[in-house]
Protein backbone atom coordinates (compact mmCIF):
# COMPACT_ATOMS: atom_id res chain seq x y z
CA UNK A 1 0.00 0.00 0.00
CA UNK A 2 1.17 3.53 -0.75
CA UNK A 3 1.95 5.79 2.20
CA UNK A 4 -0.33 8.69 2.98
CA UNK A 5 1.43 11.98 2.19
CA UNK A 6 2.22 14.02 5.33
CA UNK A 7 0.75 17.08 3.64
CA UNK A 8 -2.80 15.72 3.73
CA UNK A 9 -2.63 15.47 7.53
CA UNK A 10 -3.07 19.24 7.51
CA UNK A 11 -6.58 18.70 6.20
CA UNK A 12 -7.34 16.58 9.27
CA UNK A 13 -5.86 19.26 11.51
CA UNK A 14 -8.22 21.77 9.92
CA UNK A 15 -11.24 19.52 10.41
CA UNK A 16 -10.19 18.96 14.02
CA UNK A 17 -9.86 22.68 14.64
CA UNK A 18 -13.40 23.09 13.38
CA UNK A 19 -14.79 20.20 15.41
CA UNK A 20 -13.03 21.28 18.62
CA UNK A 21 -14.17 24.86 18.08
CA UNK A 22 -10.57 26.05 18.22
CA UNK A 23 -10.19 29.79 17.71
CA UNK A 24 -7.81 29.07 14.82
CA UNK A 25 -8.68 31.26 11.86
CA UNK A 26 -6.92 31.54 8.53
CA UNK A 27 -7.07 35.20 7.51
CA UNK A 28 -9.12 35.63 4.35
CA UNK A 29 -6.22 37.41 2.67
CA UNK A 30 -3.96 34.45 3.39
CA UNK A 31 -6.50 32.02 1.95
CA UNK A 32 -6.74 34.08 -1.23
CA UNK A 33 -2.98 34.53 -1.46
CA UNK A 34 -2.37 30.81 -1.07
CA UNK A 35 -4.88 30.00 -3.77
CA UNK A 36 -3.32 32.55 -6.17
CA UNK A 37 0.04 30.94 -5.46
CA UNK A 38 -1.20 27.40 -5.99
CA UNK A 39 -2.94 28.16 -9.27
CA UNK A 40 0.11 29.91 -10.71
CA UNK A 41 2.42 27.19 -9.38
CA UNK A 42 0.33 24.36 -10.85
CA UNK A 43 0.30 26.14 -14.20
CA UNK A 44 3.97 27.04 -14.05
CA UNK A 45 5.05 23.50 -13.27
CA UNK A 46 2.92 22.16 -16.12
CA UNK A 47 4.21 24.81 -18.50
CA UNK A 48 7.84 24.08 -17.71
CA UNK A 49 7.44 20.40 -18.44
CA UNK A 50 5.34 21.15 -21.56
CA UNK A 51 8.35 22.97 -22.98
CA UNK A 52 9.80 19.48 -23.52
CA UNK A 53 6.98 18.38 -25.88
CA UNK A 54 5.93 19.46 -29.32
CA UNK A 55 2.65 21.17 -28.50
CA UNK A 56 1.00 20.36 -31.81
CA UNK A 57 1.60 16.66 -31.29
CA UNK A 58 -0.23 16.50 -27.98
CA UNK A 59 -3.03 18.90 -28.80
CA UNK A 60 -5.44 16.36 -30.39
CA UNK A 61 -5.04 13.92 -27.50
CA UNK A 62 -5.55 16.67 -24.96
CA UNK A 63 -8.64 17.95 -26.71
CA UNK A 64 -10.22 14.50 -26.92
CA UNK A 65 -9.77 14.02 -23.21
CA UNK A 66 -11.38 17.37 -22.59
CA UNK A 67 -14.36 16.61 -24.80
CA UNK A 68 -14.85 13.16 -23.31
CA UNK A 69 -15.05 14.80 -19.88
CA UNK A 70 -18.51 16.02 -20.89
CA UNK A 71 -19.64 12.44 -20.34
CA UNK A 72 -19.16 12.87 -16.59
CA UNK A 73 -22.02 15.32 -15.95
CA UNK A 74 -24.16 13.43 -18.46
CA UNK A 75 -23.73 10.29 -16.34
CA UNK A 76 -24.09 12.03 -13.01
CA UNK A 77 -27.29 13.87 -13.90
CA UNK A 78 -29.73 10.92 -14.20
CA UNK A 79 -28.28 9.32 -11.07
CA UNK A 80 -28.83 12.50 -9.09
CA UNK A 81 -32.30 13.02 -10.53
CA UNK A 82 -33.63 9.47 -10.36
CA UNK A 83 -31.83 7.94 -7.39
CA UNK A 84 -31.08 11.14 -5.47
CA UNK A 85 -34.51 12.63 -6.11
CA UNK A 86 -33.01 16.10 -6.62
CA UNK A 87 -34.90 18.57 -8.76
CA UNK A 88 -33.66 19.41 -12.24
CA UNK A 89 -31.72 22.54 -11.27
CA UNK A 90 -29.92 20.88 -8.37
CA UNK A 91 -29.18 17.74 -10.38
CA UNK A 92 -27.64 19.78 -13.20
CA UNK A 93 -25.64 21.97 -10.82
CA UNK A 94 -24.25 19.02 -8.84
CA UNK A 95 -23.45 17.25 -12.13
CA UNK A 96 -21.52 20.34 -13.24
CA UNK A 97 -19.51 20.26 -9.99
CA UNK A 98 -18.55 16.62 -10.50
CA UNK A 99 -17.70 17.13 -14.16
CA UNK A 100 -15.49 20.02 -13.21
CA UNK A 101 -12.18 19.54 -11.40
CA UNK A 102 -10.45 20.45 -8.16
CA UNK A 103 -7.03 22.05 -8.53
CA UNK A 104 -6.18 21.07 -4.95
CA UNK A 105 -6.95 17.39 -5.55
CA UNK A 106 -4.79 17.69 -8.65
CA UNK A 107 -2.06 19.19 -6.48
CA UNK A 108 -2.32 16.31 -4.00
CA UNK A 109 -2.00 13.89 -6.92
CA UNK A 110 1.14 15.69 -8.10
CA UNK A 111 2.49 15.55 -4.54
CA UNK A 112 1.76 11.82 -4.44
CA UNK A 113 3.71 11.30 -7.67
CA UNK A 114 6.59 13.42 -6.37
CA UNK A 115 6.66 11.24 -3.26
CA UNK A 116 7.16 8.07 -5.32
CA UNK A 117 9.41 9.83 -7.84
CA UNK A 118 6.98 9.54 -10.73
CA UNK A 119 6.10 12.32 -13.17
CA UNK A 120 3.19 13.11 -15.44
CA UNK A 121 2.75 14.97 -18.70
CA UNK A 122 2.92 18.73 -18.21
CA UNK A 123 -0.08 19.38 -20.40
CA UNK A 124 -2.35 17.68 -17.84
CA UNK A 125 -2.72 21.12 -16.33
CA UNK A 126 -4.06 22.48 -19.61
CA UNK A 127 -6.55 19.62 -19.72
CA UNK A 128 -7.56 20.55 -16.20
CA UNK A 129 -8.13 24.17 -17.17
CA UNK A 130 -10.07 23.27 -20.31
CA UNK A 131 -12.20 20.56 -18.67
CA UNK A 132 -14.12 23.20 -16.78
CA UNK A 133 -15.73 24.38 -19.97
CA UNK A 134 -17.59 21.24 -21.19
CA UNK A 135 -18.45 20.30 -17.61
CA UNK A 136 -20.00 23.62 -16.67
CA UNK A 137 -21.73 24.07 -20.02
CA UNK A 138 -23.19 20.55 -20.01
CA UNK A 139 -24.32 20.92 -16.41
CA UNK A 140 -25.99 24.21 -17.20
CA UNK A 141 -27.83 22.80 -20.23
CA UNK A 142 -29.08 19.87 -18.15
CA UNK A 143 -30.17 22.16 -15.35
CA UNK A 144 -32.05 24.57 -17.55
CA UNK A 145 -33.54 22.36 -20.29
CA UNK A 146 -37.08 23.57 -20.84
CA UNK A 147 -36.87 25.97 -17.91
CA UNK A 148 -38.36 29.43 -18.29
CA UNK A 149 -36.15 32.51 -18.31
CA UNK A 150 -33.09 32.90 -20.47
CA UNK A 151 -29.71 31.50 -19.50
CA UNK A 152 -26.99 34.12 -19.20
CA UNK A 153 -24.59 32.31 -21.54
CA UNK A 154 -22.46 35.36 -22.23
CA UNK A 155 -21.96 36.13 -18.59
CA UNK A 156 -21.33 32.45 -17.84
CA UNK A 157 -18.63 32.05 -20.48
CA UNK A 158 -16.97 35.28 -19.32
CA UNK A 159 -17.05 34.00 -15.74
CA UNK A 160 -15.55 30.64 -16.72
CA UNK A 161 -12.86 31.94 -19.05
CA UNK A 162 -11.71 34.96 -17.09
CA UNK A 163 -12.38 33.54 -13.65
CA UNK A 164 -9.35 33.54 -11.36
CA UNK A 165 -8.85 29.76 -11.61
CA UNK A 166 -8.51 29.36 -15.36
CA UNK A 167 -6.85 32.72 -15.81
CA UNK A 168 -4.04 32.05 -13.36
CA UNK A 169 -3.50 28.43 -14.38
CA UNK A 170 -3.26 29.27 -18.06
CA UNK A 171 -1.14 32.31 -17.22
CA UNK A 172 1.18 30.08 -15.19
CA UNK A 173 1.41 27.63 -18.08
CA UNK A 174 2.42 30.40 -20.48
CA UNK A 175 5.13 31.81 -18.21
CA UNK A 176 6.37 28.33 -17.34
CA UNK A 177 6.45 27.30 -20.99
CA UNK A 178 8.37 30.43 -21.94
CA UNK A 179 10.77 30.01 -19.00
CA UNK A 180 11.35 26.43 -20.05
CA UNK A 181 12.03 27.43 -23.66
CA UNK A 182 14.54 30.18 -22.80
CA UNK A 183 16.05 28.05 -20.02
CA UNK A 184 15.37 30.61 -17.30
CA UNK A 185 13.27 28.47 -14.99
CA UNK A 186 15.81 28.75 -12.26
CA UNK A 187 15.09 31.61 -9.87
CA UNK A 188 11.32 31.31 -10.26
CA UNK A 189 11.30 27.61 -9.35
CA UNK A 190 12.63 28.46 -5.88
CA UNK A 191 9.23 29.88 -5.19
CA UNK A 192 6.72 28.16 -7.45
CA UNK A 193 8.16 24.65 -7.28
CA UNK A 194 10.10 24.32 -4.03
CA UNK A 195 7.42 25.89 -1.86
CA UNK A 196 4.53 24.14 -3.57
CA UNK A 197 4.09 21.45 -0.92
CA UNK A 198 4.39 23.83 2.02
CA UNK A 199 1.81 26.18 0.58
CA UNK A 200 -0.45 23.23 -0.16
CA UNK A 201 -0.13 22.29 3.52
CA UNK A 202 -1.45 25.64 4.71
CA UNK A 203 -4.19 25.57 2.10
CA UNK A 204 -5.32 22.12 3.18
CA UNK A 205 -5.52 23.36 6.76
CA UNK A 206 -8.04 25.97 5.63
CA UNK A 207 -9.85 23.41 3.44
CA UNK A 208 -10.30 21.28 6.54
CA UNK A 209 -11.77 24.22 8.43
CA UNK A 210 -14.13 24.95 5.55
CA UNK A 211 -15.14 21.32 5.10
CA UNK A 212 -16.00 20.88 8.78
CA UNK A 213 -18.30 23.91 8.53
CA UNK A 214 -19.95 22.61 5.37
CA UNK A 215 -20.79 19.03 6.22
CA UNK A 216 -23.98 19.94 8.05
CA UNK A 217 -25.47 21.30 4.82
CA UNK A 218 -25.95 17.82 3.33
CA UNK A 219 -27.69 16.37 6.35
CA UNK A 220 -31.07 16.00 4.62
CA UNK A 221 -29.73 13.84 1.80
CA UNK A 222 -26.76 12.60 3.81
CA UNK A 223 -26.79 8.86 3.05
CA UNK A 224 -27.35 9.29 -0.67
CA UNK A 225 -24.71 12.02 -0.99
CA UNK A 226 -22.22 10.01 1.04
CA UNK A 227 -22.62 7.06 -1.30
CA UNK A 228 -22.67 9.22 -4.42
CA UNK A 229 -19.70 11.29 -3.25
CA UNK A 230 -17.57 8.16 -2.94
CA UNK A 231 -18.86 5.82 -5.64
CA UNK A 232 -19.21 8.35 -8.42
CA UNK A 233 -15.59 9.59 -8.33
CA UNK A 234 -14.41 5.97 -8.18
CA UNK A 235 -16.31 5.24 -11.38
CA UNK A 236 -15.21 8.45 -13.08
CA UNK A 237 -11.63 7.76 -12.02
CA UNK A 238 -11.86 4.25 -13.43
CA UNK A 239 -13.02 5.70 -16.73
CA UNK A 240 -10.21 8.29 -16.62
CA UNK A 241 -7.56 5.66 -15.98
CA UNK A 242 -8.91 3.59 -18.84
CA UNK A 243 -8.79 6.57 -21.21
CA UNK A 244 -5.33 7.59 -20.08
CA UNK A 245 -3.91 4.15 -20.76
CA UNK A 246 -5.81 4.00 -24.08
CA UNK A 247 -4.19 7.28 -25.16
CA UNK A 248 -0.79 5.90 -24.08
CA UNK A 249 -0.15 8.46 -21.37
CA UNK A 250 2.69 7.70 -18.96
CA UNK A 251 1.83 5.87 -15.74
CA UNK A 252 1.79 9.18 -13.83
CA UNK A 253 -0.25 10.86 -16.54
CA UNK A 254 -2.78 8.02 -16.56
CA UNK A 255 -3.22 8.42 -12.82
CA UNK A 256 -3.55 12.19 -13.11
CA UNK A 257 -6.28 11.82 -15.74
CA UNK A 258 -8.13 9.53 -13.36
CA UNK A 259 -7.68 12.16 -10.64
CA UNK A 260 -9.06 14.87 -12.93
CA UNK A 261 -12.10 12.82 -13.89
CA UNK A 262 -12.71 11.79 -10.28
CA UNK A 263 -12.20 15.15 -8.61
CA UNK A 264 -14.93 17.71 -8.36
CA UNK A 265 -14.97 21.46 -8.02
CA UNK A 266 -15.94 23.60 -5.02
CA UNK A 267 -14.54 26.95 -6.10
CA UNK A 268 -14.98 27.63 -9.82
CA UNK A 269 -18.19 25.63 -10.19
CA UNK A 270 -20.17 27.31 -7.37
CA UNK A 271 -19.31 30.74 -8.79
CA UNK A 272 -20.34 29.68 -12.29
CA UNK A 273 -23.55 27.92 -11.20
CA UNK A 274 -24.63 30.96 -9.19
CA UNK A 275 -24.75 32.82 -12.50
CA UNK A 276 -26.04 30.07 -14.76
CA UNK A 277 -28.43 28.21 -12.46
CA UNK A 278 -29.28 30.65 -9.68
CA UNK A 279 -32.28 28.52 -8.63
CA UNK A 280 -30.03 25.62 -7.54
CA UNK A 281 -29.10 25.33 -3.86
CA UNK A 282 -25.31 25.75 -3.65
CA UNK A 283 -25.08 24.41 -0.10
CA UNK A 284 -25.74 20.85 -1.24
CA UNK A 285 -23.21 20.74 -4.08
CA UNK A 286 -20.48 22.35 -2.00
CA UNK A 287 -21.26 20.12 0.95
CA UNK A 288 -20.99 16.94 -1.12
CA UNK A 289 -17.98 18.13 -3.07
CA UNK A 290 -15.92 19.54 -0.22
CA UNK A 291 -17.27 17.48 2.65
CA UNK A 292 -17.32 14.03 1.07
CA UNK A 293 -15.54 13.70 -2.27
CA UNK A 294 -12.56 15.95 -1.59
CA UNK A 295 -11.41 14.18 1.60
CA UNK A 296 -12.19 10.79 0.06
CA UNK A 297 -10.05 11.59 -2.95
CA UNK A 298 -7.02 12.95 -1.14
CA UNK A 299 -6.85 10.16 1.46
CA UNK A 300 -8.18 7.08 -0.29
CA UNK A 301 -8.87 7.96 -3.90
CA UNK A 302 -5.42 9.07 -5.06
CA UNK A 303 -3.68 5.79 -4.13
CA UNK A 304 -6.57 3.83 -5.69
CA UNK A 305 -6.35 5.80 -8.94
CA UNK A 306 -2.67 4.99 -9.00
CA UNK A 307 -3.50 1.28 -8.74
CA UNK A 308 -6.09 1.69 -11.49
CA UNK A 309 -3.48 3.37 -13.69
CA UNK A 310 -1.06 0.50 -13.08
CA UNK A 311 -3.82 -1.97 -13.93
CA UNK A 312 -4.75 -0.35 -17.24
CA UNK A 313 -1.16 0.40 -18.23
CA UNK A 314 -0.45 -3.31 -17.80
CA UNK A 315 -3.46 -4.16 -20.00
CA UNK A 316 -2.71 -1.96 -23.01
Partner 1 sequence: MKRLEIVIDEEKLEDLIALLNEVGVRGYTFLRQASGLGSRGTRRPDDIFFEQTNAMMILACEEKQAERLVTTLRPRLKEFGGMCLISDCAWVIGPAVSY
Residues of this chain that interact with a copy of itself (CB under 8 A) are 3, 5-7, 9-10, 13, 16-17, 20-30, 32-33, 36-37, 40, 111, 114-115, 158-159, 162-164, 167-168, 171, 174-175, 178-179, 182, 184-185, 187-188, 190-192, 194-199, 201-202
Residue among 101 and 298 whose Cβ is closer to Na ion: 101
In whole angstroms, how close is the CB of 24 to a copy of itself at the nearest point? 5
> CB neighbours (10 Å) of residue 30?
13
Measured on CA atoms in the order 281, 295, 82, 137, is the torsion positive or negative?
positive
Give the list of residues 6+ apart from residue 70 with CB closer than 8 angstroms, or none. 99, 134, 135, 137, 138
Q: Provide the angle, in degrees to the nearest 10, between the axes of the packed helices 28-50 and 164-181.
A: 40
Residue among 179 and 284 whose Cβ is closer to a copy of itself: 179
The reply on whether position 28 binds partner 1 by CB under 8 A is: yes
In whole angstroms, how close is the CB of 284 to Na ion at the nearest point? 17
Alpha-carbon distance 91 to 143, whole Å?
Answer: 7
Residue among 101 and 290 whose Cβ is closer to Na ion: 101
Measured on CA atoms in the order 42, 48, 49, 55, is the torsion positive or negative?
positive
Candidate residues 34, 72, 143, 210; the one interacting with partner 1 per rule CB under 8 A:
210
The reply on whether position 54 binds partner 1 by CB under 8 A is: no
**Residue 274: which of a copy of itself, partner 1, Na ion, none does it interact with, CB under 5 to 8 A by kind?**
partner 1
| Residue among 180, 7, 179 at smallest CA distance from 107 | 7
**Residue 266: which of Na ion, a copy of itself, partner 1, none does it interact with, CB under 5 to 8 A by kind?**
partner 1
Residue among 121 and 159 whose Cβ is closer to a copy of itself: 159
Residue among 177 and 312 whose Cβ is closer to Na ion: 312
In whole angstroms, how close is the CB of 286 to partner 1 at the nearest point? 6
Burial class from Cβ neighbours inside 10 Å (0-12, 13-18, 19+) for residue 246 reads: middle
Candidate residues 111, 129, 234, 267; the one interacting with partner 1 per rule CB under 8 A:
267
Alpha-carbon distance 127 to 132, whole Å?
Answer: 9
Q: In the window 98-117, what residues touch Na ion (CB under 5 A)?
A: 101
Alpha-carbon distance 206 to 130, whole Å?
Answer: 26
**Residue 33: which of a copy of itself, partner 1, Na ion, none does it interact with, CB under 5 to 8 A by kind?**
a copy of itself
The reply on whether position 185 binds partner 1 by CB under 8 A is: no
Residue 295 sits at the vertex; the CA angle it makes with 1 and 102, to the nearest 5 degrees, is: 105
The reply on whether position 57 binds partner 1 by CB under 8 A is: no
Question: DSSP readout, 218-260?
Answer: GGGGHHHHHHHHHHHHHHHHHHHHHHHHHTT--HHHHHHHHHH
| Residue among 213, 260, 210 at smallest CA distance from 237 | 260
Residue among 101 and 125 whose Cβ is closer to Na ion: 101
Interacting residues with partner 1 (CB under 8 A) = 28, 31, 210, 266-267, 270-271, 274, 282, 286
Q: What residues line the site for Na ion (CB under 5 A)? A: 101
Amino acid sequence: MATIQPVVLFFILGVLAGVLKSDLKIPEALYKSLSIFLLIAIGFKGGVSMAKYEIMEVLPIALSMVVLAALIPLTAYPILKKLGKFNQADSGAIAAHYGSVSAVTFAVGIAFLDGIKETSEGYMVLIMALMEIPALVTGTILARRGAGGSTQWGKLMHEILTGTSIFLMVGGVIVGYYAGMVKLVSPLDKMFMDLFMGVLALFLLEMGLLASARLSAIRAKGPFLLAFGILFPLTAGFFGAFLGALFSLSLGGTMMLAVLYASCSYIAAPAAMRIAVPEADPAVSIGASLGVTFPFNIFVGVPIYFEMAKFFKAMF
